[in-house]
């Protein structure tokens, strides 16, 4: 029974890869099998929860105004924020998914790692300092700086909430799947634990608590991954060639793991997925929001410098961990593999050796089993707790950015026309946080049995097709107008969603249409939807000669002075 499920998981993930889910598959944890209850892991996680709730209590005393809630009063340093961004970005899916992919296919895991990293220089070169100079609480502050507030804010809030929703569902379902294998608890517990804890952090501690949860998680994840990578390299005298040689010798695919495999089929998909990752990162609301927590553009730049360093370092570690898992787990199949059973006894292969049927708990468990192999049961518990804590930190960041889109952009600006006081804005944020928490739990339950592999990639596609072009053009192109930005953003949003539905990862894998029937043949819509957004913004802005448009163009030089020099920039610590 278990072995069949495990085989199905392997089959499903391989099928997904082949079906053109391609790069998207690495961002998903797939379906998992419940394991025996792991009390050490649960105890470790309980310690993490106790510490973070303690921090939340401390943060709650300092969270009085809306500025404290959204941006921790702007008092986070560049180094701290860099760690927090890394904690916000390094997901359980990238840790377990990429190391699992390296374990299964070797080289291909590296292609993922690179893709998830290349968005960061783009943010650094084009966005970070301008965001900090122009914005206050949300990226809509920046996009709507010189434009008509109501349409721009409504659009930006919609873009934020849609991205947050898809990203959130993937995280909640991932949490439910993980708790079954890591702690040996039921799916539903995970969804409720994540929902309740995330609400506590955000509701009481706002950005201060969220930031520290992310920092602690980042430190735990980096420490744990470093230890594992060092333990692996130590066994091979810190000689990667020796590690690779051993892996090639015992991996069933042998030398094939040292070359790129089937991951990239056609160049169009490769470029399109690359664009989604490269520019989508610069359109994720929960990441953009982090730039308002630092006091200056200088610190904002330092944040991305550190974030890129930590994230890149982490991805190099996952590659070593994946190869370490090949060597150490394959040599000890009794401990980590499910036996292939035939008529109640383990099958014996033609070579006289017992046959095994994939890793216990599924292909994404490579890093978790490796933790046991190098550090025993206590370290296994630590890594399991870290993997689960990882989801919590990401979800808290998402909730906070969703809540601020509703309270700051929709309530305070669109609904109250900028006349809301800090106290009522804060109250709306908190009500929204509770609502988002409940919705997240319900969605997590509703999507338990669904295939959510496409959702993170969809979030990236929307972020790069709707949020990024609007932000980019409003800040860098003087002729951009409200009409152009809103029209282009809406086109980008709709195109990316529709093309994703028509692609194999939804049309065939989710809606169960026959194989090969998907109308959109590529792995990501980004190439088309992002281009469409830019073209529409350009054309509509050019054709827009209304009074409002002329006013907006005349405001550009002043906006540019502020975005380039920081003169008049919000000091964030608006006490």
Do residues 455 and 169 touch, judged by C-beta distance below 8 A?
yes
Give min distance, CB of 133 to other proteins, in A. 10
Q: How many residues bind other proteins (CB under 8 A)?
A: 53
User: In this complex, which beta carbon is closest to other proteins, that of residue 124 or of residue 505?
Assistant: 124
Distance CA 528, CA 446 (A): 31
Distances in Å between the Cα of 240 and the Cα atoms of 230, 232, 247, 385 are 11, 10, 10, 29
User: In this complex, which beta carbon is closest to other proteins, that of residue 264 or of residue 341?
Assistant: 264
Give min distance, CB of 62 to other proteins, in A. 28
- As a whole number of Å, the CA-based R_g of the chain is 24
Give min distance, CB of 102 to other proteins, in A. 11
Stretch of 89-97, 115-123, 193-201, 341-349 contacting other proteins, by CB under 8 A: 115-123
Rounded to 5°, the CA angle 541-286-451 comes to: 100
Q: Residues 392-411: x/- map of binding to other proteins (CB under 8 A)?
A: --------------------
Residues 117-176 that bind other proteins (CB under 8 A): 117-118, 120-122, 124-126, 129
Cβ contacts of 444 within 8 Å, gap of 6 or more = 169, 172, 173, 175, 176, 190, 191, 194, 195
Distance CA 33, CA 360 (A): 8
Residues 244-273 that bind other proteins (CB under 8 A): 244-245, 248, 255, 258-260, 263-264, 266-267, 270-271
Position 521 contacts other proteins (CB under 8 A): no
User: In this complex, which beta carbon is closest to other proteins, that of residue 274 or of residue 358?
Assistant: 274
User: In this complex, which beta carbon is closest to other proteins, that of residue 107 or of residue 227?
Assistant: 107
Distances in Å between the Cα of 335 and the Cα atoms of 41, 118, 225, 339, 369 are 18, 37, 21, 10, 9
Distance CA 527, CA 501 (A): 16
**Within 10 A of 223 (CB to CB), how many other CB atoms are there?**
12
Of 391, 461, 411, 497, give the one whose Cα is nearest residue 172: 391
User: In this complex, which beta carbon is closest to other proteins, that of residue 264 or of residue 494?
Assistant: 264
Of 42, 59, 56, 93, give the one whose Cα is nearest residue 394: 93
Q: Residues 275-314: x/- map of binding to other proteins (CB under 8 A)?
A: ---x-------------------x--xx-xx--xx--xx-
Position 110 contacts other proteins (CB under 8 A): yes
Residues 461-490 that bind other proteins (CB under 8 A): none
User: In this complex, which beta carbon is closest to other proteins, that of residue 70 or of residue 306?
Assistant: 306
Q: Which residue has the tokens 């980019």?
A: 472
Distance CA 129, CA 296 (A): 8
Position 319 contacts other proteins (CB under 8 A): yes
Helix axis angle for 187-235 and 366-404, nearest 10°, is: 130
User: In this complex, which beta carbon is closest to other proteins, that of residue 54 or of residue 568?
Assistant: 568
Stretch of 241-249, 343-351, 401-409, 443-451 contacting other proteins, by CB under 8 A: 241-249
Which listed residue (204, 315, 460, 472) binds other proteins by CB under 8 A? 315
Q: Dig out the tokens for 133 from the structure.
A: 């100079």
Do residues 179 and 388 touch, judged by C-beta distance below 8 A?
yes
Which listed residue (241, 334, 343, 351) binds other proteins by CB under 8 A? 241
Element (H, E) at 357: strand 356-359
Distance CA 99, CA 85 (A): 21
Chain centroid to CA 133: 25
Give min distance, CB of 478 to other proteins, in A. 12
Q: Residues 541-560: x/- map of binding to other proteins (CB under 8 A)?
A: ----------------xx-x
User: In this complex, which beta carbon is closest to other proteins, that of residue 224 or of residue 566?
Assistant: 566
Distance CA 503, CA 506 (A): 6
User: In this complex, which beta carbon is closest to other proteins, that of residue 242 or of residue 510?
Assistant: 242
User: In this complex, which beta carbon is closest to other proteins, that of residue 331 or of residue 565?
Assistant: 565
User: In this complex, which beta carbon is closest to other proteins, that of residue 246 or of residue 286?
Assistant: 246
Position 113 contacts other proteins (CB under 8 A): yes
Do residues 177 and 32 touch, judged by C-beta distance below 8 A?
yes
In the complex, the residues that contact other proteins under the rule CB under 8 A are 107, 110-111, 113-114, 117-118, 120-122, 124-126, 129, 240-241, 244-245, 248, 255, 258-260, 263-264, 266-267, 270-271, 274, 278, 298, 301-302, 304-305, 308-309, 312-313, 315-316, 319, 557-558, 560-562, 564-568
């Amino acid at each position: 029974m278990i072995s069949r499920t495990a085989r199905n998981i392997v089959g499903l993930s391989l099928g997904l890869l082949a079906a053109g889910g391609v790069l998207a598959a690495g961002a998903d944890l797939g379906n998992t099998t419940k394991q025996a209850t792991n009390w050490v892991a649960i105890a470790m996680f309980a310690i993490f929860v106790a510490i973070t709730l303690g921090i939340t209590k401390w943060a709650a005393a300092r969270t009085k105004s809306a500025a404290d809630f959204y941006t921790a009063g702007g008092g986070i340093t560049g180094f701290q924020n860099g760690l927090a961004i890394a904690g916000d970005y390094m997901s359980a899916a990238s840790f377990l998914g990429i190391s699992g992919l390296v374990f299964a296919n070797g080289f291909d895991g590296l292609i993922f790692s690179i893709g998830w990293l290349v968005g960061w220089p783009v943010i650094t070169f084009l966005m970070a300092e301008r965001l900090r100079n122009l914005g206050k609480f949300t990226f809509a502050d920046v996009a709507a700086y010189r434009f008509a507030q109501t349409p721009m804010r409504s659009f930006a809030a919609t873009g934020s909430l849609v991205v947050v929703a898809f990203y959130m569902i993937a995280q909640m379902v991932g949490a439910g799947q993980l708790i079954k294998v890591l702690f040996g608890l039921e799916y539903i517990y995970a969804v409720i634990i994540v929902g309740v804890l995330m609400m506590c952090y955000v509701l009481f501690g706002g950005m201060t608590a969220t930031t520290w949860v992310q920092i602690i998680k980042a430190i735990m994840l980096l420490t744990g991954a470093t230890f594992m990578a060092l333990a692996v390299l130590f066994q091979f005298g810190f000689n990667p060639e020796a590690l690779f040689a051993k892996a090639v010798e015992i991996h069933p695919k042998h030398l094939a793991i040292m070359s790129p495999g089937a991951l990239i089929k056609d160049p169009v998909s490769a470029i399109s997925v690359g664009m989604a990752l490269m520019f989508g990162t610069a359109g994720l609301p929960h990441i953009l929001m982090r730039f308002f927590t630092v006091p200056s553009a200088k610190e904002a730049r330092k944040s991305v410098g550190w974030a890129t360093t930590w994230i890149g370092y982490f991805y190099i570690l996952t590659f070593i961990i994946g190869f370490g898992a090949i060597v150490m787990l394959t040599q000890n199949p009794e401990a980590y593999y499910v036996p292939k059973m035939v008529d109640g006894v383990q099958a014996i292969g033609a070579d006289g050796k017992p046959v095994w049927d994939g890793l216990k708990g599924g292909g994404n468990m490579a890093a978790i089993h490796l933790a046991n192999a190098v550090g025993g049961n206590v370290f296994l518990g630590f890594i399991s707790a870290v993997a689960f804590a990882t989801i919590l930190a990401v979800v808290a960041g998402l909730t906070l950015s969703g809540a601020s889109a509703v309270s700051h952009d929709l309530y305070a600006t669109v609904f109250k026309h900028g006349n809301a006081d800090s106290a009522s804005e804060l109250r709306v944020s908190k009500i929204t946080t509770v609502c988002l928490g409940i919705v997240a739990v319900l969605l997590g339950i509703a999507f338990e049995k669904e295939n959510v592999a496409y959702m993170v990639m969809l979030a990236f596609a929307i972020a790069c097709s709707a949020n990024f072009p609007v932000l980019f053009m409003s800040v860098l192109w003087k002729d951009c107008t409200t009409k152009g930005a809103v029209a282009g953003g809406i086109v980008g949003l709709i195109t990316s969603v529709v093309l994703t539905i028509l692609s194999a990862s939804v049309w065939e894998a989710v809606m169960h249409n026959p194989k090969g029937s998907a109308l959109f043949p590529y792995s990501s819509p980004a190439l088309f939807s992002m281009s469409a957004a830019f073209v529409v913004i350009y054309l509509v802005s050019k054709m827009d000669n209304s009074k409002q448009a002329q006013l907006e163009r005349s405001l550009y030089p002043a906006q540019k002075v502020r975005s380039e020099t920081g003169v008049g920039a919000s000091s964030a610590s608006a006490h």
